[in-house]
Amino acid sequence: MLPPPIDEARTVSSVVLDKSGQWMTGFTVEDGIWRIKADLSGIDQRFIDRLISVEDRRYWDHGGVDLPAIIRAAKSWKSAGKPVSGASTITMQLVRQIEPRKRTLGAKVIESFRALQYELFLSKQEILELYLTHISYGGNIDGIHAATLAYFGKTPHELSDAEIALLIAIPQAPEARRPDLWPNVAKRGRDKILQKLADEEIITQLQFEEAAEIPVTVRKNPIPETAWLTAKSLKLESKSVHSTIDMDLQKDVEAIASQYLEQLPGEVNLAMTVVENETMAVRAHIASGGRGREGGWLDMTQRYRSPGSTLKPFIYGLAMDDGLLSASSWIEDAPTRFGSYQPENFNRRYYGAVRIHEALRHSLNVPAVAVLDRVGGQRFEASLQNAGMDLVRLGRKSEKAGLAVALGGTGVTLNDLAVGYAALANGGQARPLRWLESDPSHLGQQLLREDTAIDITRILRQAPTPEGRVPGWLASDAPPIAYKTGTSYGFRDAWSAGYSDKWTIVVWVGRPDGAPREGQTGRIAAAPLLFDVFSALPNGELADNYQDDEDAPLGLTSVKDYTERGPQILFPPDGVELLASEFGAEARGFTFSARTIDDEVQFFVNEQPIETENDRFVWRPKTAGFYKVVAIDGKGREAISDISVIALGQLPDPRF
């Protein structure tokens, strides 16, 4: 006869545990069977002792076949005319579980021979563990571990007298004694075991009476499946793996995300990764907000999506590393053409001369593209790739097309964004995410200089917070949060990526099918969830905050409402020089904007009214020169900006 199928016997459910060994998620084997590997050290010793007493009293002494038991069974059969007691050992029962056969005398002989083989190849402890892994508990439940999870909602580490007796009774008639289907039958079987244990003085009469009064469970618990999609990507065949997930934190984050999703339409989903900065361990992970939602079976943290403006901090950071600018450098925010590419600010307003920290803090598009053009699109992408942030280019693969990367013209995954933002929190050093406790701690790649990462962090800590959320640095017991939002073209993806000294979190909200959600920006749709999760995390140490420069443009800083004194020209600000690449009616023109109480305003340039195009004031200068811009509100109050227009070719490098 061939050797016993020991490898097949060791095919069990893959199990993913959290960082401390708590059950997170398991996966069934063939035919949807739950078969979780039994570990004697994790099973109540009283159960093991009582099981052996009932099923195979001489288990530790025989070699797989108990001859005295066979002789005793044969004698009782002869005297009674029918089988009265069995002679199958635990080892023989294991053989029957792994290689089921019809119950015949010939099958009994084969089982006996196989049992002898198992005893030769395996130790008694290994055989008992395999038995407690394979023994049927009815339905799709095999083994002690799966049974206690399904019927008691816990592991077999600590069991009551009633639970022990029920777990011994069910395998004697697995389908007939299923407590979820036939609780009364299960109770009678359990009570027989209790009576036998009492008769043999393994338990006292009082223990018997107390255990017999306990009703049998009538509801089958689902096997826990926390972070199912996350665990699916981490599982190893027939093994248990220790993930870096913190179950307590995971459940808190899932509850917050679930509550947040309840406010959103069913076709909308979300994803999130929470990283511990010091170790780069993923402590909470939501691959999808819910299986019942659109795309609920997709891991959206590994899908390439347009990141919107979330890459801007790295653009400015590389420029700082190159010595091209500092946080307080001035840059022109005005309509500018880069070859055939002419980006616009999100709100289609332009603010003239602004400081770099204002441009980043308020996510102005034109300055970011200008800086990327100076840094170089290819160098920027290569720097992120080397740091572990994989980018998928969109559109034409040319340098000019690459400038669109600044505004989301590329594909990136949420998990890779987490690597980048954690690098900002870790002094510019990018390291891979750790998903398993066994994963090594990598040295990492220096994405930005440490002083640059500190400067970027200070800027992002002063970004405007979502409505109703208090900035972290205003709360004495909360860490400051540096964060950036992003919105992809057509409102398809809403992002919010943030970090404190201790944590990095990236949030995505959108439709998995890529359909647009008009008006749903990262600030509106994703940032509130980011702040809600940060509020639930253990706080790190407080750090310094960043104050606005006193001479920052009034159009961007948080100031009192100047509209009480009349209109405020946001663009073009007084004294600004506008750079024009072309003149006349064919020019793209400059978009003027002003802040007023009633939104009623009229612009004049050198006393000539400016007409509106699609509800925007667009001015196309005919020549270079000096101009006087006047904005008049509905009450006749006015504001004046004296500006100059110069041709783009007049400056050696007009972008800075």
Tens-place pLDDT, residues 199-233: 999 999 999 999 999 999 778 888 888 999 999 99
Any idea which of 247-251, 526-530, 538-542 has the lowest mean pLDDT? 538-542
CATH of the domain at 401: 3.40.710.10
Task: Give residue-wise pLDDT tens across range 405-437.
Answer: 999 989 999 999 999 999 999 999 999 999 999
Residues 527 and 571 both lie in one domain: no
Q: What is the mean pLDDT of residues 519-526?
A: 93
Inform me whether the pLDDT recorded for 402 exceeds 90.
no
Here the CATH number for the domain that contains residue 614 is 2.60.40.1080
Closest CA to 344 of 334, 357, 355: 334
Burial class (CB in 10 A: 0-12, 13-18, 19+), 264: middle
Q: Given this model, what pLDDT does residue 539 score?
A: 67
- Helix then strand then coil, in percent of the chain rounded to 5, is 35, 20, 45
Would the pLDDT of 568 be above 80?
no
Query: Residue 381 burial (CB < 10 Å; 0-12/13-18/19+)?
Result: middle
Question: Quick check: 273 and 469 in contact, CB under 8 A?
Answer: no
Assess whether 453 and 578 both reside in one domain: no
**Residue type, position 599, single letter:** D
Which residue has tokens 């920052």? 552
% pLDDT > 90, the chain: 57
Place of tokens 């009476």: 209
pLDDT at 558: 34
CA-wise closest residue to 235 among 53, 62, 17, 534: 17
Average pLDDT value for residue range 290-297: 85
549 lies in some domain:
no
Does residue 296 surpass a pLDDT of 90? no
529 and 592, same domain (yes or no): no
Q: Find the mean pLDDT for residues 38-59.
A: 95
309 carries an active-site annotation: yes
| Listed residues 491, 519, 536: the one ending a domain | 536
478 pLDDT above the threshold of 70: no
Give 499's strand partners: 482, 504
- Token readout for 107 is 């099958």
Q: Which residue has the tokens 């001369």?
A: 353
Among the listed residues 61, 252, 248, 35, the one whose alpha carbon sits nearest the alpha carbon of residue 131: 35
588 within a domain of the structure (yes/no): yes
How many helices and strands (H and E) does the chain possess? Answer: 21, 25
pLDDT at residue 522 tops 90: yes
Say how far apart CA 361 and CA 537 lie, in whole Å.
24
Q: Which residue has the higher pLDDT, 340 or 491?
A: 491
Active-site position among 240, 288, 306, 309: 309
Q: 603 and 510, same structural domain? A: no
Residues 6+ apart with CB under 8 A from 252: 284, 536
**Of 77 and 331, which is predicted with more confidence?**
331
Please report whether residue 105 resides in a domain. Answer: yes
> Do 573 and 611 lie in a common domain?
yes
**Segment 129-179, tens digit of pLDDT:** 999 999 999 999 999 999 999 999 999 999 999 999 999 999 999 999 999
In this structure, the answer to whether residues 337 and 473 fall within a common structural domain is: yes
| Average pLDDT value for the chain | 86
Residue 407 lies in a domain: yes
Question: Same structural domain for residues 314 and 437?
Answer: yes
Last-in-domain residue among 191, 212, 233: 212
Structure tokens at 567: 């209109």
Within a domain: 178: yes
Within-domain flag for 555: no
Q: What is the pLDDT of residue 548?
A: 40
Write down the pLDDT at residue 70: 63
**Domain housing 611:** 562-650
Does 612 fall in a domain?
yes
**503 and 569: one domain?**
no
Active site residue 55: yes
pTM here is 0.76
> Which amino acid makes up residue 24?
M
Beta bridge partners of 330: 355
Question: What is the β-pairing status of strands 493-499 and 482-487?
Answer: antiparallel
- Cβ distance 475 to 450 under 8 Å? no
Model pLDDT, residue 212: 96
Based on the domain organization, do 505 and 382 belong to the same domain?
yes
Rounded average pLDDT over 103-132: 85
pLDDT band of 584, cuts 50, 70, 90: confident
463/632: higher pLDDT:
632
> Any residues with CB less than 8 A from the CB of 358 and at least 6 apart, and which?
351, 364, 552, 553, 556, 557
Enter the tokens of residue 612: 């509106």
Of 536, 554, 573, which marks where a domain is finished?
A: 536
Same domain, 97 and 205: yes
Q: Which pLDDT band, with edges at 50, 70 and 90, does 65 fall under?
A: confident
Query: Does 549 score more than 50 pLDDT?
Result: no
Both 99 and 195 in one domain: the answer is yes
pLDDT given at position 552: 38
> HEC string of 75-142?
HHHHHHCCCCCCCCCHHHHHHHHHCCCCCCHHHHHHHHHHHHHHHHHCCHHHHHHHHHHHCECCCCEE
In the set 13, 55, 306, 488, the catalytic residue is 55
The phi-psi region of residue 559 (left if phi > 0; otherwise alpha if psi is between -120 and 50; otherwise beta) is: beta
Choose among 36, 14, 527, 431: nearest CA to 242: 14
Statement to judge: residues 585 and 531 lie in one domain: no
Say how many domains are in the chain. 3
Is residue 541 very low, low, confident or very high in pLDDT (cuts 50, 70, 90)? very low
Q: What is the dihedral of CA 317, 323, 326, 329, to 10 degrees?
A: -120
Residue 387 lies in a domain: yes
